[in-house]
Structure 1
């Protein structure tokens, strides 16, 4: 699937936690190392489209869900 919104580290942290997955568990599901997941979450690396797609598929992160999360997150910061 092609996505129009780039996944950021804070997004990944939120959706991973929403699925009650540790970094290690997500890494195993995606087929990546724990340290690479940590680097993604810290925005230290750019991930390939293929890797982003695998992560999004596992966590169910559509552009619509990502947009909605960011909108709600922004609203809460302004409270």
Structure 2
């Protein structure tokens, strides 16, 4: 059976912080990279259902990572 693949690209003011917050939750079937302000995560799974599940989980984690990055930015900005 061939692998199913999805690539999710999102743009962020602090892409490095978002990617760092995401990486601990990545499974072995996922890879995340950063280029400029873009976070790119590729997911490979054997089934379409598995791919959908993993991407759904990733989107939830992405929402949390964005919140972490925004909070960190605001904290740094307020303490300068």
Q: Same fold (TM over 0.5)?
A: no
Larger strand percent: 2
Scaled to the shorter chain, the TM-score interval is 0.3 to 0.5
Larger helix percent: 1
With the length of structure 1 as denominator, give the TM-score of the two structures: 0.38
